[in-house]
A and B are shown apart, each in its own frame.
Chain A
Amino acid sequence: MIIDFLIYKYNYLATIILILIGLYSVIVNGNLLKKVIGLNILSTSVILFYISISKVSGGSAPIYAENVVRYDNPLPHVLMLTAIVVGVSITAVALSIIIKIEETYGTIEEDEIVEIDQNDDMVDNK
């Protein structure tokens, strides 16, 4: 049964592994830039998932042609064009915020930023 799953449904396995890699690198890395890379892996894995479910067995590319009986489902491809655009915009916003964090804190390591903020609070409370 596991063999069957590996042979016929390996795309789901790949998606799960990629999602976990993405989540892991978002959670574990203290470097903000690496967190953004993790986010990108996460959103790309969802895109791959959508693309893989659009495959119809024996289907050809969804472009009209003679002598073709079956086409793949083109809808997920179109949806994922939007998702790619969304992913790019999120990366752009994230990177610009990271630049601002670097300018104001002088670092993009999370534990150092937390320390700076805690020192600020100590000064405030005195």
Chain B
Amino acid sequence: MNLKMNLPALVVVFPFFSAMMMVAIGIFNRKVVPYIFQITATITAYFAFSLLIEVYTNGPIRYYFGNWIPPVGIEYYVDYLNILFVTIIASIFFVMSFYFPLSVRKEIPESKSYIFYSVTTLFASGLLGITITGDMFNIYVFTEISSITAYALIAIGGNRRSYRSSFNYLILGTIGASFIVLGIGYLYMATGTLNLLDMQERLQHVYNSKITISAAAIIIVGLSLKMALFPLHSWLPGAYAHSPSTISAFMSATSTKVMAYLLIRFVYTIFTPNFATKIIPITDIVMYISLIAIIAGSFLALGQKDLKYMFAYSSVGQIGYIVFGAMLINANGLIGSIYHFLSHAIVKGGLFLVAGIIFYNFTNTKIEITNGLFKKMPFTSIGFLIFALSMIGIPATSGFISKWYLVMGAIETGNWIGVTVILLSSLLTAIYFWRVVDRIFFKAPDDDVKFNEPISMILPTYILAGCSIYFGLFPHQLVNYAQKAVLLLMETIK
């Protein structure tokens, strides 16, 4: 048994089987399931980091299942791009796993808790599967694994609004997935293969075919629906606001971003930028939509009365940044996009963890209850402040670095509208976060009740806050990694 050789499979398969085991064990003994959950998250993160080191020392890995050589067999393809995403998802999963037990005990009925842990693990393994696979149809199957578990996890939220939001997400998510699978069918028709790299090669000969053009259109619409790009975002606020706090934190950090990764994968690896620039301007169209998304998300967040709703609408704007950077077809823009994926996963995940601690004490997350929160919950408040600064993009936080690269990319391509929009949106972000910061730090509290801040909830929040500052102060290593990924993606332009 060679552990190192089988890492790409283990990262996905290990949490998958562990999820099954949790149900089997949970039937007899519910108390051990949280520990199994934490061990699973730890080992998955360990696998992801060993894979990261492996890929950056020995180059991209092509892992053939059952030694069937593609295009016949199914392949897991790990290159410089998706290993970053795998590592981010696995480490967010690891950090948050310590936050789960207390919050779950508060929000989930005890009899359902072991199933909740199991479904969460399945959700994580679905997301890891999407990022790591090198086979088109696997992408669809893993998308559905992560989506179906997401519907169930949102519905477990407890109030009747969570059922309704879950149902909305189910309808729109399924339509999106059907579009994606229809588009994959078109591509299969045009090329006769489902392997990503094989398809990239064969697709070059049929760029002008109407099948390829309609496949591109259908897949991009499907992905936009799944990643909540602005006009198609209506499922997202409800889904984030009414799900359990742990799930809104984990989902906001990973699930829509994974779809943004798929967009990068489709535009750069499968269709290649040549197709986008020469045949139909998909990148330009999506770029302008993403600019509208950035502004609209920020404006919508401005008027919210609930913290979770505010964070959710701000997610709609932030996904715009990631898509904008990717659609510039410029090295710096793409680095900014990848960096923003990391930065936003850390920061938005952390913000929802803060909302979870507030929910733990107040059982709601209305903005008006945060008056004088600093006196009641000092650690939570400072955590919130760090994340808010990073969202705005103050220097020495990770948000600054990603916006720096995005603006550089926009200037290099002469996209002055983009530069204006990013700066304007930073201002709007500052306004809607400062509204809350002002209440927390400068308003007098309504009463003198002290609240407890459990260490197991504060610690994950501070680890994420620490990461945000660390990647703001020392961005070089990660930028180097991102640069390698970008070079690989840009090879196809020549």
Contacts and interface: CB of A to CB of B under 8 A. Distances in A.
B163 A93 contact: no
Contacts of A49: 182, 185
Contact of B174 (A53, A90, A98): A90
Contacts of A93: 148, 151-152, 170
A53 B160 contact: no
B261 to A, nearest CB: 21
A117 B170 contact: no
Given A86-B144, A101-B163, A101-B164, A35 B171 contact: yes
B197 interface: no
A13 interface: no
Contacts of A20: none
B178 interface: yes
Nearest to A87: B174
Contacts of A89: 144, 148
Given A50-B185, A97-B163, A43 B174 contact: yes
A46 interface: yes
Interface in B164-207: 164, 166-167, 170-171, 174-175, 178, 181-182, 185, 188-189
A14 to B, nearest CB: 14
Contacts of A86: 141, 144, 148
Interface residues of B, number: 24
The secondary-structure label for the interface of chain A is helix
B137 interface: yes
A119 to B, nearest CB: 13
Interface string B130-168: 000000010011001000100110010000110110110
B160 A46 contact: no
A97 B148 contact: no
Nearest to A102: B163
**Residue of B160, B161, B166, B178 with most partner-chain A CB within 10 A:** B178
Interface size class of A (residues with CB under 8 A): 20 to 34
Contacts of A83: 140, 181
A82 B137 contact: yes
Given A86-B141, A93-B170, A53 B178 contact: no
Contacts of B166: 97
A81 B289 CA distance: 36
A46 B174 contact: no
Contacts of B151: 93-94, 97
A99 B422 CA distance: 44
Interface in A11-63: 19, 23, 26, 32, 35, 39, 42-43, 46, 49-50, 53
A74 to B, nearest CB: 13
Contact of B167 (A46, A50, A82, A97): A97
Interface of A: 19, 23, 26, 32, 35, 39, 42-43, 46, 49-50, 53, 76, 79, 82-83, 86, 89-90, 93-94, 97-98, 100-101, 104-105, 113, 117
26 contacts: A19-B178, A23-B175, A35-B171, A42-B174, A42-B175, A43-B174, A43-B178, A49-B182, A49-B185, A50-B185, A53-B185, A53-B188, A53-B189, A86-B144, A90-B170, A90-B174, A93-B151, A93-B170, A94-B167, A97-B166, A97-B170, A100-B155, A101-B160, A101-B163, A101-B167, A104-B160
